[in-house]
Amino acid sequence: MAPLSRRMVAEALGTFGLIFIGCGVVVANTFPDGNSGIVGIALAHAVVLGVMITCTMNISGGHHNPAVTIGLFSAGRISGKDAGAYVVAQLVGALLGAFLLRLLLPPGVVSAGSLGTPTVALAITGPQAVGIEAVLTFFLVSAVYGTAVSPNAPKVGGFGIGLVLLFDILAGGPLSGGVMNPARAFGPAVVSGNLIGQYVWWVGPILGGIIAAQLWERVLLKE
């Protein structure tokens, strides 16, 4: 296993890529020629996460998501010390990705798009949004177990995990933001100064991640 410092750099790098590309394509949609829409946003998130997980999975496991890390911690797959270090690295990577976007883009565009900070639809209540994020993250962590953690996992790199973002964002993006990742909400929110509703993207994903991890550990992977 790689030293913890090296694994932290890998986690920060992967999360940086997710934020810079994921939030970048959201902001790009505010430009006159930006017409990728939700399909393009979902596809960009799916591809960048799949690539970054594949790049780093042999170093850190390719979590890039506090909900994944905490879910694996709840199942004993990672120590408390390492989990805490991973979450810190992920949040730092998210902040760096969002900060670089703000540095490179015109101030008016940054303000209009809030750097891709997620929002909850007006018709959706807070508890409903938490529930939606929990279910979406349940699918994500299930993919982590089924394609990476399981000893019988197919050799598809991180793309089986990344593809979950495609259908999760298409389904949940217009409702709860389709975030599934506290770092994805935290980085752009802090840098843009828009911290409304952050609890939705912490409570929901962490809850869903823990439930998925427990199901796989206790039932689906049990000998």
Q: Splitting the chain (223 residues) into consecutive groups of 10 residues, what average pLDDT does each group show?
A: 95 98 92 87 97 97 98 97 98 97 84 84 97 98 96 90 97 97 97 93 98 97 81
Residue with tokens 């209540």: 125
* pTM of this structure: 0.95
* Long-range Cβ contacts of 69-74 (<8 Å, 24+ apart): 70/206, 70/209, 70/210, 71/141, 71/144, 71/206, 71/209, 71/210, 71/212, 71/213, 72/144, 72/149, 72/213, 74/209, 74/210, 74/213, 74/214
Q: How far apart are CA 48 and CA 43, in angstroms?
A: 9
Helix (H, G, I), strand (E, B) or coil at 60: coil
Question: Do 92 and 191 meet the contact criterion of CB atoms below 8 Å apart?
Answer: no
The pLDDT of residue 112: 62
Q: How far apart are CA 192 and CA 159, in angstroms?
A: 30
* Long-range Cβ contacts of 151-158 (<8 Å, 24+ apart): 157/50, 157/53, 157/54, 157/57, 158/49, 158/50, 158/51, 158/52, 158/53, 158/54, 158/55, 158/57, 158/62
Q: For the segment 92-112, what is each residue's pLDDT rounded down to a tens digit? A: 999 999 999 999 988 877 776
Residue 219 DSSP symbol: I
The pLDDT of residue 155: 86
The pLDDT of residue 113: 65
Helical H segments across the chain, by residue range: 4-28, 37-56, 66-74, 80-104, 107-113, 126-144, 159-176, 182-192, 198-215
Q: For the segment 6-23, what is each residue's pLDDT rounded down to a tens digit? A: 999 999 999 999 999 999
Using alpha carbons, list the distances in angstroms from residue 17 to 24, 29, 47, 187, 222: 10, 18, 11, 12, 34
**Would you state the structure tokens that stand for residue 16, as one six-digit string?**
């940086």
Q: How far apart are CA 166 and CA 140, in angstroms?
A: 11
Q: Of 86, 112, 137, 101, which is closest to residue 21 (Cα–Cα)?
A: 101
- With b for 16 or more beta-carbon neighbours within 10 A and e for fewer, the 42-57 pattern comes to bbbbbbbbbbbbbbbb
